[in-house]
Each structure stands twice: as structure tokens, then as C-alpha cells.
């Protein structure tokens, strides 16, 4: 697309110009052209040289709007109309909004304003050349002849841009109208007129009133921007921050086929991709997660159909594919970083961004079409940690994508038609297909929101975050499974999956003030298993992760036995084969599915706590647990006592399993080498002898994980008495120890920790266990090896944590709910030592 600015519209000054080109404005010009247009100009002027592509265009000015209002005497008429406005009365709001819009639309533009817009549009057409589609599309003879003679038929987007929008503490996005695939001067003028009128949509009137903005202190600018032919490709929304947790180091990119309005409005469930910003900017390729959306429809040009756009079904094979490539994901994420860095510099404070992008299906190019400050997470206090926790359960009647981390409940109100929103009562849970700005007058009154459609960047999600309301989007079936009047609980506090429970399930809210937490000499680490919780847990002050378990990722995200994936063609159970085929539909080579999912899960945890160390325990399923994975029974033996059987290190070099262990190694190598997350430290569990440790290291080296290269350290679990007794020998093989107090207790006391018959004897505080712990800490220190503990004991027993500190242990890894309290206890203890 051409970027050379045309000759400027000839007026005496910027302040009384009707039209300004994007190249003429910047972020300081919100009062002239509104937030959206000022931002487009800022990016074209400042970021084009950094590789960020933005299609150009022009903006009508705030002066043009006020000139129109003043010439027609509209302010006096509108003030009289709003004299008895009551935004809490839906009928009153609808009536006043309808009259206000009619008043604007029935008032013609002044001729000089009309001429300025048409002249600018024709100049934009000259910049982009002849449109390949027929000029016969135009009903107006003047437009048709102009198109044929001068190629004045360029397709444009006509977008509203209010002078009060995109402020850091208020999001006016979506309050006014946008028109896509607009051709010809007459259509551009009509669309500009409709944009002016949309300053008085019901939702805009309501929103301004709630936020305390004078209706007549806000002016409307209209941006006329060259269309990107994403109807032939894809588009989406991205944030330079995690929208749910406020984690600053991840960019969220969403994508769907066709024009971007469906993603913004929540009409489709888009693909979602997370990218880790710090190592991306170092040149790595850290795509932490790729989540496939259903993408059932796409918005395209309605050529010859009488409308500007239309929705059509997406072909089934395309729904099962990601809408953009990994290279495109990385490019967009890099642009998000560039845009965020620039706006943070301009504003003098950290400014996460909400960005719309589009891919041109003709040229294959990517473009940024809008960028505004994110208005929810950026306004939250980082000094208070709020944690919602269910204290009961109930029947799950629907699930979808969780928005936020809160819990809400109340009587459900199922509404399928926006014209029936006056039936909604304050405090109810809104259940609907999807929302758009017309729903906002009731959204602010709801205790929670549930939608069938939409992803985490859709309208319902954005407004719910802004208003602090829990929401679950993309449920698919909520309007069928939930009934009006039914009491329900909407939980977004259990990871990425939001759950709608029947009934009012009890819950609690814990608030922790994070100001002035003391430092400790002993490193306070955290035990983390679920990648979906990692970004949220990263807000808890700690020194890294002492135990990241692969078992959760394998059981919940991969679900299939690694050998079943490696031997897919020879699987004996047809039902299992069918289920694995469905699970791995995007993968011709089934083992790649295991490597991808494991790398993404580990990478997410590593990214959340980067650059602090993240100790990743390699898989430690027992044979009976492996057998429960899809296809596992074909490859697992039946053992009488799996707890002390074929587990941990003994599997990794065994000819019957070493290939499967190789997949784990490949995943960790990808995390360290391709994602750049070298803070990952692999740890070997249940290593019975030092020689066994050497065999495992040799297997790892075959797959590119060589101890000492690229800073790679390898730790060993200390959970068998031999690990303690031979700690001097293990110190020659490994870089550090982590005490697994659960297994060490059961093997020291000779009991099965899963047996209720001897459960009363199981106690980490037993003198025999404490003697073993003391011995291994002393030996590790003598050999200059790091030693920590990742078992349950310090989380359950504060006195055990004190015992460890007195011995000089390097680190204590705790369950998340015990981290802050234990930090305070240890800080106090260290001061007394």
C-alpha cells in the first residue's frame, strides 16, 4: 500500500480544518481527530520506520463536527431533548436516542464540509489506484462516471473516533459506528453522516452519562481508511498484556477468517495465541500456546448483494486449521511490543495496548488498523492480591472461556433479543448468544455474564473486565442449558475454563496486601502444575518455581500415552485409535502433538516466572497411572506395587520407554533453545543410584540436552534413602537436589502413603525423616550443591519450615496458598538467627 502523503487540504490552520490526513496527526491530537484517528496517525508517522504497517487515510476533524452542529443549531435542540434523560429507564433511553439520531441524520451537511470530504476521498483513490471490481456497482450516475473516468472507487472503512475515547480510565471503543467496504463519494458521505449520528446511540448516551462526560463536550471525528482485504484472509484483535491476569510479559493474539468485526463483536470463537515478549524481543520464537477456535462464520464483502458486508459459513476443513501461520503470529506479537513500547514512552508510564489487525488476502501483507490503550488491567492496583475460591460444588451445566478470575452468582435471565433487555433485573446473570454495545445499559447491572459465542477479546469479555464482572464466553449451549429464573454460579476462578454451576455455590474472597513484603535469605519458591494458572500465580511474590510437574500437562492437555502416539498405526483398540486421531487431528506425525503440547505447557510456566529459575520434574507417573492415559494399557505392565516399581529414572533409559522419554527431552530443548527460556532446570525423579543418573544424562544428551551447555543444569529429586546416603556421589552427577518429603517419608518409615491403614504413622516431622533431611542438606553444602525442598511438609507445618531454615537450606518450594504466610514466618525467623 502507498504511504506517500497527498497534498494537504488547503485551510488556514489545523484547528479549523475540516479534514486532516493521518500523516498530519499524532497522539497529541486527540482533541482534533479523536483517539482512534490520532493513534493511526501516530503509528504511521512514528512506527512505519520500525516495520509496523498501517493503511493510510484521512479524518474529519472535531471542528468539522462542531461546525456542522453549530450551522444547524443542533446543540440547543439536543439539549432540550436530553433535559429529562434517564439512562436507567430503558424506554426513555431508547426514545431519546432515536430522536437524537434522527435529528442529526435529517440535517444535511454544509456544502463546504461535503466538498472537503469528497475531495479527500478522491485523493485517497488516486493514491491506491484503480479497484479491480466493476464501477457498475454504483447506483448514482455521478459516482459511476467518476469511477470509470478517474478510478474513484477505492474501498474504505469509515470509522467513528470520539475526542474522549481511548482514555486510560475509560474505554469508548465500540460506542459509535463503523462501516466497512464503502465505495464511492456518495456512500462515504452517507457513512460519515451516520457516524456523526452514532455519537447518540443508546449505548453511547448511557456510557457518557455513567462516566460523567458532557454530551456536548465530546466531538466526533470520522476516519476514512483504505480497506485491508481481510475478507479474503483473516483478522483479529491482540493485547500486549494478558487480559485476564494482567501478566505484562505475554501478548495475546486472536485470529479468525474474514473481516475483524466478528471477532470484536464476539460472533465467532477465534484462535488464540500467547507469545512471551521478553525473549521474542531477543530474537527467539516463544509461542507459549496455540488454541484452536471454532471459527464457524466469516464476514466478507457483499459484492452485488445490496449490503456492505455479509456473513458466510467457513468450510469445515478450514475450521480445523489455524487462521494464521507461526511466522505471522510472531510478527504481530513483535508489532504489539513495538506499539506498547512507543506508547509507554510517549505517556511516560507503562501503557499496555489493545490492537486490531488485518491480513490482506490479495497481497498477503499484515496491517494494524487500530490501536488504543488497554483500559482494565492497566488501572488495577498491583499492591492487593484478590483470590476467589469456591467452598462447595454443584452440577456443571455449561463451560466456556473464563474472563477474569472472579465468581458471580444470581438468578439467570436468558435474553436472545436486544429489544427485550428491559426485562433484565439488577443482580441477575445475563445469559445470551453474544453482546454488542447495545447491551451495555444492562451489562453493568449484572452479577455475571454468560454467552454462547465469542473469545477472550470479544465485546462481552472487554466490557465484563472493565466493569469487574465475571464472564464466561464461547459456551456454545448456555442459552439451552440455563433457564430464566434458575439460580446459577459463574466461576472464573478455576483456570482458563469457566464453569456455570447449578445453584448458589458458596465461595470466599481472600485479599492480600503485597506492599512492603520482607526479603528472605532462604529462597521462597512455588509449586506449580497447571499452566493455565501460571500467569495469575506469578503475581504472588516469590523467587521462582521449585517444582513444575509434567504430569498435569500430560494428563490434562495431552491425554494420550506417548508410546500410543509413537505407535499410532499399530494401536489395537479401535476406539482409542479413533479418540487419539480426533485429539491429534492437526498432526500427521502424532508424536509432534506430544512435543508441542508439553513445550507449550512448560514454556508457559517458565515464562510466568522468568527470569527466575523454574525446576521442571520430568514425568513421574507410576505404571498404573500411565495405563490410564489413552492407549496406555497396551504399553504398560501390571505391577503389584507401582509406587516402588517402574517409575522415574528407571524408565528413561529402558529400551521399552527411552523413545517416549526422548519426546520429553525434545520439548524441554524447544523451551530452552527456541523459546529462549533458559531458566528451565530439568529434575530427575526417583533416581535409585548414581549410575542410573549417568544413564539418564546420556539419554538427555542424545536429544540435545547436555549438562553444562547453554547454562543447562540438571537437578535430582532426593526422595529415596540412597539419595541421602550416597549424596556425595550424586553431587558428582547432578547440579542440585530437591527433597521430596512425601516419598522420603514413606521410604524412610517403610509405609505406603496411599494406605489408610498406616496413614496415622505418616509424618514428615518424625525424627528419622528429619535426620535424613539434615544429613542430605549438610552433604549438599559440603559439595557446593544447591539444595531445596519441594514436598508438602513446609506448606502444612510451619515448624518444619523453621527446621529447614535453621539447617541453612537454600530454598523452600510451597503450594501457592502458603507462599506469603511462610515468607513472613521465615523472614521473622531469619532475623532471630
Q: Which residues are CB-contacts of 516 (< 8 A; sequence separation ≥ 6)?
A: none
Alpha helices in 183-322 (DSSP H): 185-197, 202-211, 261-265, 277-280, 316-319
Q: Which residues of 642-664 are buried (b: 16+ CB within 10 A; e: fewer)?
A: bbbebbbbbbbbeeebbebbbbb
Distances (CA, A) of 607 to 250, 515, 602: 8, 24, 8
> Which among 731, 787, 369 has a CA at the least distance from the CA of 546?
787
Q: How far apart are the first and last CA of the chain?
A: 69
Cα–Cα distance, 242 to 240 (Å, whole number): 7
Stated as kind and residue range, the H or E segment containing 50 is: none
Active site residue 790: yes
Q: DSSP string spanning 478-536? A: HHHHS-TT-EEEEE--SSSEEEEEES---EEEEEEE-TTPPP-SSEEEEEE--HHHHHH
Beta-strand runs (E) in 418-496:
429-432, 448-451, 471-473, 487-491
Distances (CA, A) of 94 to 79, 176, 193, 231, 431: 16, 15, 20, 33, 22
DSSP string over 364-380: --EEEEEEEE--SGGGS
458 is catalytic: no
Q: Is 157 in a helix, a strand, or coil?
A: strand
From the candidates 125, 135, 195, 790, give the one annotated as an active-site residue. Answer: 790
Rounded-to-integer distance, Cα 379 and Cα 465, Å = 11
Residue with cell string 447449578: 502
Q: Which three cell numbers stand for residue 30?
A: 486527540
Determine the 3-state secondary structure of 750 from DSSP. coil
Strand 786-789 relative to strand 736-739, pairing: parallel
**534 preceded by cis ω (within 30°)?**
no
Half-sphere exposure of 583 (CA within 13 A, CB side): 24
Which residue is it, cell 509434567?
Answer: 550
Whether residue 188 contacts residue 156, with contact meaning beta carbons closer than 8 Å, is answered with yes
From 459, 475, 492, 561, active-site residue? 459
Give Cα separations from 127 to 41, 158, 257 (angstroms): 17, 17, 27
Active site residues: 459, 790
Amino acid at each position: 500500500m502507498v504511504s506517500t502523503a497527498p497534498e494537504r487540504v488547503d485551510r488556514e490552520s489545523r484547528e479549523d480544518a475540516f479534514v486532516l490526513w493521518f500523516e498530519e496527526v499524532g497522539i497529541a491530537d486527540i482533541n482534533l481527530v479523536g483517539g482512534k484517528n490520532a493513534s493511526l496517525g501516530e503509528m504511521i508517522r512514528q512506527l512505519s520506520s520500525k516495520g509496523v504497517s498501517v493503511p493510510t487515510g484521512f479524518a474529519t476533524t472535531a471542528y468539522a463536527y462542531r461546525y456542522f452542529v453549530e450551522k444547524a443549531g443542533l446543540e440547543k435542540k439536543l439539549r432540550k431533548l436530553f433535559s429529562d434523560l434517564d439512562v436507567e429507564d430503558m424506554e426513555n433511553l431508547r426514545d431519546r436516542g432515536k430522536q437524537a439520531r434522527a435529528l442529526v441524520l435529517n440535517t444535511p451537511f454544509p456544502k463546504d464540509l461535503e466538498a472537503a470530504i469528497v475531495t479527500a476521498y478522491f485523493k485517497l483513490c488516486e493514491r491506491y489506484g484503480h479497484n479491480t471490481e466493476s464501477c457498475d456497482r454504483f447506483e448514482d450516475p455521478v459516482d459511476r462516471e467518476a469511477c470509470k473516468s478517474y478510478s474513484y472507487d477505492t474501498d474504505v472503512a469509515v470509522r467513528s473516533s470520539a475526542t474522549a475515547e481511548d482514555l486510560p480510565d475509560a474505554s469508548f471503543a465500540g460506542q459509535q459506528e463503523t462501516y466497512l467496504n464503502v465505495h464511492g463519494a456518495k456512500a462515504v458521505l452517507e457513512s460519515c453522516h451516520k457516524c456523526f449520528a452514532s455519537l447518540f446511540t443508546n449505548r453511547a448516551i448511557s456510557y457518557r452519562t455513567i462516566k460523567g462526560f458532557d454530551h456536548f463536550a465530546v466531538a466526533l471525528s470520522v476516519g476514512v481508511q483504505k480497506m485491508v482485504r481481510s475478507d479474503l484472509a483473516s483478522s483479529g484483535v491482540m493485547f500486549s498484556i494478558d487480559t485476564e491476569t494482567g501478566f505484562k510479559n505475554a501478548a495475546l493474539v486472536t485470529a479468525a477468517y474474514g473481516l475483524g468485526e466478528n471477532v470484536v463483536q464476539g460472533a465467532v470463537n477465534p484462535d488464540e495465541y500467547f507469545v512471551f515478549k521478553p525473549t521474542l524481543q531477543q530474537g527467539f520464537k516463544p509461542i507459549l500456546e496455540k488454541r484452536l477456535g471454532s471459527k464457524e462464520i466469516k464476514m466478507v464483502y457483499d459484492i452485488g448483494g445490496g449490503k456492505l458486508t455479509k456473513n458466510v459459513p467457513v468450510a469445515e476443513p478450514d475450521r480445523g486449521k489455524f487462521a494464521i501461520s507461526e511466522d505471522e503470529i510472531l510478527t504481530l506479537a513483535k508489532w504489539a511490543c513495538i506499539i506498547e513500547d512507543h506508547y509507554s514512552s510517549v505517556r511516560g508510564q507503562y501503557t499496555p495496548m489493545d490492537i486490531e489487525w488485518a491480513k490482506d488476502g490479495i497481497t498477503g501483507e499484515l496491517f494494524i488498523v487500530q490501536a488504543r490503550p488497554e483500559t482494565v488491567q492497566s488501572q488495577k492496583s498491583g499492591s492487593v492480591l484478590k483470590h476467589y475460591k469456591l467452598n462447595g460444588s454443584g452440577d456443571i451445566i455449561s463451560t466456556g472461556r473464563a474472563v477474569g478470575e472472579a465468581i458471580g452468582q444470581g438468578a439467570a435471565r436468558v435474553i436472545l433479543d436486544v429489544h427485550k433487555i428491559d426485562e433484565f433485573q439488577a443482580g441477575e446473570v445475563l445469559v445470551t448468544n453474544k453482546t454488542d454495545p447495545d447491551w451495555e445499559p444492562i451489562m453493568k447491572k449484572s452479577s455475571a455474564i454468560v454467552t454462547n459465542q465469542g473469545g477472550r477479546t470479544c465485546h462481552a469479555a472487554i466490557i465484563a473486565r472493565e466493569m469487574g464482572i465475571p464472564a464466561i464466553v464461547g459456551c456454545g449451549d448456555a442459552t439451552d442449558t440455563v433457564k430464566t429464573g434458575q439460580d446459577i454460579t459463574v466461576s472464573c476462578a478455576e483456570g482458563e475454563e469457566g464453569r456455570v454451576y447449578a445453584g448458589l455455590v458458596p465461595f470466599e474472597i481472600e485479599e492480600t496486601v503485597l506492599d512492603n513484603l520482607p526479603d528472605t535469605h532462604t529462597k521462597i519458591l512455588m509449586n506449580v502444575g497447571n499452566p493455565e494458572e501460571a500467569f495469575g500465580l506469578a503475581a504472588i511474590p516469590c523467587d521462582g518455581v521449585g517444582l513444575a510437574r509434567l504430569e498435569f500437562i500430560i494428563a490434562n492437555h495431552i491425554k494420550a500415552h506417548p508410546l500410543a502416539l509413537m505407535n499410532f498405526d499399530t494401536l489395537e483398540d479401535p476406539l482409542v485409535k479413533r479418540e487419539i486421531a480426533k485429539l491429534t487431528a492437526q498432526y500427521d506425525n502424532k508424536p509432534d502433538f506430544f512435543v508441542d503440547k508439553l513445550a507449550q505447557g512448560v514454556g508457559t510456566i517458565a515464562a510466568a516466572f522468568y527470569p527466575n529459575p523454574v525446576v521442571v520434574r520430568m514425568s513421574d507417573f507410576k505404571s498404573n497411572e500411565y495405563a490410564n492415559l489413552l492407549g496406555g494399557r497396551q504399553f504398560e505392565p501390571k505391577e503389584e506395587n507401582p509406587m516402588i516399581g517402574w517409575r522415574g529414572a528407571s524408565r528413561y533409559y529402558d529400551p521399552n520407554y527411552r523413545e517416549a522419554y526422548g519426546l520429553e527431552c525434545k520439548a524441554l530443548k524447544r523451551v530452552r533453545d527456541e523459546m529462549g527460556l533458559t531458566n528451565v532446570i530439568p529434575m530427575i525423579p526417583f533416581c535409585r543410584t548414581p549410575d542410573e543418573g549417568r544413564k539418564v544424562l546420556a539419554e538427555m544428551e542424545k536429544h540435545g540436552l547436555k549438562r553444562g551447555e547453554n547454562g543447562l543444569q540438571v537437578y535430582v529429586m532426593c526422595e529415596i534413602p540412597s539419595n541421602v546416603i550416597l549424596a556425595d556421589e550424586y553431587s558428582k552427577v547432578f547440579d542440585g537436589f530437591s527433597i521430596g518429603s512425601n516419598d522420603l517419608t514413606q521410604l524412610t518409615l517403610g509405609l505406603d502413603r496411599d494406605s489408610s491403614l498406616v496413614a496415622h504413622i505418616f509424618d514428615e516431622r518424625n525424627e528419622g525423616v528429619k535426620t535424613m533431611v539434615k544429613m542430605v542438606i549438610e552433604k549438599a553444602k559440603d559439595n557446593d550443591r544447591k539444595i531445596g525442598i519441594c514436598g508438602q511438609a513446609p506448606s502444612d507445618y510451619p515448624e518444619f519450615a523453621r527446621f529447614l531454615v535453621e539447617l541453612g537450606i537454600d530454598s523452600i518450594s510451597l503450594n501457592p496458598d502458603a507462599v506469603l504466610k511462610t515468607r513472613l514466618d521465615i523472614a521473622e525467623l531469619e532475623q532471630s538467627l
